[in-house]
Amino acid sequence: LLLANDAAESRMDQEFRLHIELETEKLMREHNLAPAEARRRALAAFGGVENHKQALREGRGFGWLRGLSLDVKLAVRLLARYPVLTLVGGVAMAFGIAAGVGAFAFRMLLVDPVIPLDEGSRIVGVRYWHASRNEPVQPTAYDIDMWRDELARIEDVSGFTSFFRNVITPDGRSEIESVAAMSPSAFRVARVSPLLGRTLLDADALPDAPLVVVIGHDIWKRLFSADAGVVGRTVRLGREQATVVGVMPEGFTFPAAHNLWVPLSDRAGVEKGSGLWVFGRLARNASRAAAQAELSAIGARLAASSRDTHEHLRPQLVPYTWLLFDPLDPDIWYGLTIGNIFFVMLLLLVSANVALLMLARAASRESELAVRSALGAGRARLVAQLFVEALVLAGLAVGVGLAGARFALASLLANVETNRGWLPFWASDSLTTTTVIYAGGLALLTAAIVGIVPALKVTGRGLHDRLRQSTAGGGGYRFGGVWTAVIAAQVAATLMFPAAAFIFHDFVVAGQTRDVGFAASRYVSARLELDRDRVPGAPLEATDDALRMRMGRTFATLEARFSADAQVDGLTFADRLPATQHPRWRIEIEDEPSPADAASRLAVSSASIALNYFDVIGAPVRAGRAFSAADLASEPRVAIVNESFVGTVLGGRNPLGRRVRRAARAQDTPGPWLEIVGVVKDLGMSPEAAGLYRPASPETASVIQLVLGVKGDPQSLTSRLRAMASEVEPALQLHDIMPLDQAGASGWNDSQYIARLMTVLSAIALLLSLTAIYSVTAFTISRRTREIGIRVALGADRRRVIAVILRRPLMQVGFGLAAGAVMVTLTFTGLYETTPTLSELFLIAVYAVIMVAVCLLACVVPARRALRVEPARALTVDG
Amino acid sequence: VSSRPPVDALRGSLDLLILKTLSLEAMHGWGISQRVQQMSSGEFAMNQGSLYPALQRLEKSGLITSAWDISDNNRQARYYRISAAGRRALEKEVASWRKFAATLDAVLRTT
């Protein structure tokens, strides 16, 4: 537009020049005038050149644009004139925009991410929706075969499943890796060529084909030192030998976060009937709707013909990423919604802040606005100008906000990767066009709130009356009741946000540093798993039984091998580690009617442990007896409880010989009666401190968390553990090897991240709020300079004057503090179900004092300035 | 009494004069101003620059078009040309002007 404007200007100049030259020449020719005189007359005949230019410019129809550019110039000049307000307002907006955009970008990443593959948006997922249970159901290899034959609008229908395997190189290096057993056609869906060798072929998936594997760039570098001759070598995947046939390029971790690909076949240990993630590529020119229609037709036919298996199954086309993260899943949806509400609240808080600042500024320019209005500027024109000012500020803020959002997103993803150990390949911190557009929209919205609302308020009815007053020496704009409420709300929110963050932080730290009752740093823990090998032709339960038996045998060998190591000082296991979350049981006590307060009193934590558990961690049974081998003979009928159990559940009565059981839940029978045979001290159970232990063997435990006593440096042992385990059994996987005192804390990583995030956000919000409260209070006081002058001139005592001035701001802050205190109390009781500790109360009090101090400072500084001014001069002050 | 018409009347008739001038041939701005002066025998004394807003107005309403070309003495000039719509407007304006002038004349005679 500006370019077009320039071009039009230069054409106009050229045309005028030619006219004047021709006229000059004519005058010289016909009247024999000297060139200078001829030119003078030509110019006179033409009339005012600039006037005509202006007429043409206006005629060109971009008048509003020049008005706008004038507004922009004015806005920039004003922003530069009030640097502090600009800085605070800009930072506040940038912060708000960053928070809003960050939340939006994260949401987009979950709901509609960009898939970084060739025409990635045409890769779609296919799943069943169970019409009566209302939940997704995974299709099987049979479904894939059928769809591949019948679907014309989805090509290369493929499936994958994922499991862990020990990857053991010929030189004995061992790592646990996530393996994708995947249809060879999936490589065609991804459209990525291998770096070395080949990808999987359809022939590799035939039942008697030898096992082959394609490895990722990462593994190629780490386990094979980027050896160019790796193709053709063998590698062990658990108990199987596989031949490496190809290496994929860097960054390829399709279908989710994988580095190893084997064909989807019986040979790779995948049952034909087990559930798979299914996907394909939309055929050329096929729309999603058309593909869904085709799928539905096949589904309807199948539901009629195979009633026993497919009656309730409705095939459903979904975005590819929804296979792994379904944003409609109630849990994810809930989390997203809560997160969004938090950020919207934050944005509102920030907007209110900036609006206050802008109102203060707009009010201070009231005389200017009134004069302009008197000179004929319409209200719309004035509001537009203030809006443009806010927009310029918002424009600056958007740049900073986008950078901030990107930083926040990167940090969030890094946190997820650290805690979960992996990130799907489409998780990227780069902001999409949609996100940038959203940021622009947010900036417009912010500018509208921040610019238009105060502008309407200031330019509203009474502007001229106030102009008359202010030129006559009266008041000018006053902050009315609405703004008192806004300031009070601001104070309350400012009190609540950091308090909530602080308390949550405390809560997390307490959880992380929970006393487990023994020297946990002297132990190392790891989760033990075995490859789930297929038993050909056997039903699933047989495979599970075989797995349990094998686990029992393997554990015995492992125990012997580890115990022989000079650094190992005892070995045991439990299904839950101390300081981590345990299953929560509601229990019944035999011969005891459930009392009214049963709900809270009879909730306990539960764990299954090895017979030697208490001996190995050095916490012998304090009363009664330990578990013995006889307790495992049949289904366990015994339990050992901790001291909290005795205290809270039994009220200190003797527990030995009493029988307890898990209470029946909604549609469930109660558990078997368990006789309490012993008592131990509390060993860091949560969520309930009261807990009971049941005996377990490696065959019966649902999860095996290995606990090893360590002599000397734990680090030197952990680095050897995996290799030692692989020697015993290649199919044995050791997950999450770490010192036992960190195992508890690792469960809190997410909470810790959220606590940190809340702290940072609250700190910024706090700073902004304090600045806004300061500016607005200081501003309103400085508007009363005249009044102060008059009071002093009339002989008022200075202290009395200050008292009068302080009354209103202090009341505002007082209201806010009271409301904030109520909200903090509600947060405590509602969210954390605790009462604040003494130190927390003290900190909140300190915090309130700081806020009052800021308010006082904001009152006193301008008030002192006003008092120092000579009364006669104060009277001349505008406003 | 000056023979000059009042300014408003001049402004209204300027468009008519321009259209009339351009109905003979395409011209650049200075040429038009010369021709207007010539045709009105110097009676319409006005700022030559006032021509350009009128040209812009006429072009905007589609009665004339303009294009850059080389003039007789080899200079870049913007040539204005009357459009079909312009010719129709000219005919209509001329007719209504004649009628108006005749009516005015008749009124003046009777009084």
**Which range is least confidently modeled, A88-92, A291-295, A328-332, A488-492?**
A328-332
Average pLDDT over residues A821-835: 69
Contact list, A52 vs chain B (CB under 8 Å)? 47, 49-50, 52-53
Predicted confidence (pLDDT) at residue B1 exceeds the cutoff of 50: no
What ipTM describes this predicted complex?
Answer: 0.85
Which residues of chain A from 26 to 45 reach within 8 Å of chain B, CB to CB?
Answer: 26, 45
Given a contact cutoff of 8 angstroms between Cβ atoms, the answer to whether B43 and B4 are in contact is: yes
Contact list, A11 vs chain B (CB under 8 Å)? 68, 78
Predicted confidence (pLDDT) at residue A344 exceeds the cutoff of 90: no
Predicted confidence (pLDDT) at residue A260 exceeds the cutoff of 60: yes
B87: distance to nearest CA of chain A, Å? 23
Given a contact cutoff of 8 angstroms between Cβ atoms, the answer to whether A613 and A698 are in contact is: no
Average pLDDT over residues A384-392: 84
pLDDT of residue A388: 85
Secondary structure (3-state) at A159: strand
pLDDT in tens, A399-446: 999 999 899 889 888 888 887 778 889 888 888 888 899 889 888 888
Range with top average pLDDT, A360-364, A554-558, A798-802, A874-878: A554-558
* Candidates B30, B48, B56; nearest CB to A56: B56
**Alpha helices per DSSP H over A588-703:** 598-601, 613-616, 643-644
Ramachandran region of residue A65, left (φ > 0), alpha (ψ -120 to 50) or beta? alpha
CA A773 from chain centre, in angstroms, equals 30
pLDDT of residue A598: 56
**Cα distance between residue A344 and residue B57, in whole Å:** 51
Q: Report which residue type is found at A827.
A: T
pLDDT in tens, A237-251: 887 889 999 999 998
* A476 phi and psi angles, rounded to 5 deg: 95, -170
**Cα distance between residue A270 and residue A769, in whole Å:** 58
Predicted confidence (pLDDT) at residue A341 exceeds the cutoff of 60: yes
Predicted confidence (pLDDT) at residue A822 exceeds the cutoff of 60: yes
Contacts of A243 (CB under 8 A, 6+ apart): A210, A211, A212, A213, A232, A233, A234
Contact list, B70 vs chain A (CB under 8 Å)? none
DSSP A831: I
- Would you give the end-to-end CA distance of chain B in angstroms? 19
Q: Report which residue type is found at A211.
A: L
Range with top average pLDDT, A103-117, A464-478, A491-505, B5-19: A103-117
Contact call for B48 and A46, based on CB within 8 A? yes
pLDDT in tens, A73-113: 878 887 887 777 788 788 888 888 888 888 888 888 888 88
Which residues of chain B from 44 to 63 reach within 8 Å of chain A, CB to CB?
Answer: 47-50, 52-53, 56-57, 60
> Is residue B42 less than 8 Å (CB to CB) from chain A?
no
Map tokens 């120092």 to a residue.
A868
DSSP A649: I
> Is residue B5 less than 8 Å (CB to CB) from chain A?
no
Predicted confidence (pLDDT) at residue A155 exceeds the cutoff of 90: yes
pLDDT of residue A282: 94
CB pairs < 8 Å spanning A and B: 57
**Cα distance between residue B81 and residue B86, in whole Å:** 9
**Cα distance between residue A17 and residue B30, in whole Å:** 10
Average pLDDT over residues A732-738: 87
**Cα distance between residue A867 and residue A798, in whole Å:** 8
Q: Report which residue type is found at A126.
A: V
Contact list, A14 vs chain B (CB under 8 Å)? 76, 78
* Candidates B34, B53, B68; nearest CB to A55: B53
In this prediction the pTM is 0.67
* Candidates A22, A45, A59; nearest CB to B53: A59
pLDDT of residue B5: 46
pLDDT in tens, A172-203: 777 888 899 999 999 999 999 999 999 999 99
**Cα distance between residue A237 and residue A166, in whole Å:** 6
Q: Report which residue type is found at A532.
A: R
pLDDT of residue A248: 95
Contacts of A660 (CB under 8 A, 6+ apart): A587, A588, A589, A590, A639, A673, A674, A676, A692
Rg (CA), chain B: 15
pLDDT in tens, A834-854: 666 777 778 778 877 887 888
* Candidates A18, A49, A56; nearest CB to B75: A18
* Long-range residue pairs from B65-71, CB within 8 A, at least 24 positions apart, any chain: B68/A11, B71/A18, B71/B28
> Is residue A54 less than 8 Å (CB to CB) from chain B?
no
* B95 phi and psi angles, rounded to 5 deg: -60, -45
pLDDT in tens, A557-595: 999 998 888 889 899 999 999 888 888 888 888 877 665
> Is residue B17 less than 8 Å (CB to CB) from chain A?
no
**Cα distance between residue A371 and residue A387, in whole Å:** 19
pLDDT of residue A245: 95
Look at residues A170, A239, A230 and name the one whose alpha carbon lies nearest to residue A196: A230
Given a contact cutoff of 8 angstroms between Cβ atoms, the answer to whether A144 and A295 are in contact is: no
Contact call for B49 and A59, based on CB within 8 A? no
Contact call for B52 and A45, based on CB within 8 A? no
pLDDT of residue B2: 40
> Is residue B20 less than 8 Å (CB to CB) from chain A?
no
Secondary structure (3-state) at A574: strand
pLDDT in tens, A778-792: 777 777 777 777 777
pLDDT in tens, A592-645: 766 555 555 688 999 999 999 999 998 889 999 999 988 887 777 899 999 999
pLDDT in tens, B76-108: 889 999 999 999 988 988 888 888 888 888 888
* Candidates A22, A47, A59; nearest CB to B49: A47
Contacts of A431 (CB under 8 A, 6+ apart): A101, A105, A402, A405, A406, A409, A439
Q: What tokens does A471 get?
A: 């030129």
Cα three-residue angle A45-A49-A51, rounded to 5 degrees: 115
**Cα distance between residue A336 and residue A456, in whole Å:** 35
> Is residue A464 less than 8 Å (CB to CB) from chain B?
no
- Would you give the end-to-end CA distance of chain A in angstroms? 42
Cα three-residue angle B44-B46-B50, rounded to 5 degrees: 125
Contact call for A60 and B56, based on CB within 8 A? yes
Report CA-CA distances (Å) from A783 to A92, A469, A475, A599: 25, 14, 8, 60
pLDDT of residue B3: 42
Average pLDDT over residues A150-154: 93
A372: distance to nearest CA of chain B, Å? 29
Predicted confidence (pLDDT) at residue A677 exceeds the cutoff of 90: yes
Element (H, E) at A674: strand A674-680
* A373 phi and psi angles, rounded to 5 deg: -65, -40
Q: What is the largest CA-CA distance in chain A?
A: 134
* Candidates A19, A55, A56; nearest CB to B30: A19
Q: From B67, which residue of chain A is nearest by alpha-carbon distance?
A: A11
Angle in degrees, 0-180, between the axes of helices A798-827 and A481-512, rounded to the nearest 10: 50
pLDDT of residue A591: 78
* Average pLDDT of chain A, as a whole number: 82
Ramachandran region of residue A626, left (φ > 0), alpha (ψ -120 to 50) or beta? beta
A178 or B43, which is more confident?
Answer: A178
Q: What tokens does A382 get?
A: 């004035």
Model confidence band, residue B42 (pLDDT cutoffs 50, 70, 90): low
Secondary structure (3-state) at A162: strand
Secondary structure (3-state) at A728: helix
Sequence length of chain B is 111
> Is residue B29 less than 8 Å (CB to CB) from chain A?
yes
B82 or A547, which is more confident?
Answer: B82
- Residue A327: other Cβ atoms inside 10 A: 16
* Candidates A18, A46, A59; nearest CB to B77: A18
Average pLDDT over residues B40-54: 75
Give one DSSP letter per residue of chain B, joined into a string.
---PPPHHHHHHHHHHHHHHHHHH--EEHHHHHHHHHHHTTT-S---GGGHHHHHHHHHHTTSEEEEEEE-TTS-EEEEEEE-HHHHHHHHHHHHHHHHHHHHHHHHHHH-
Burial of A142 per CB tally in 10 Å (0-12, 13-18, 19+): exposed
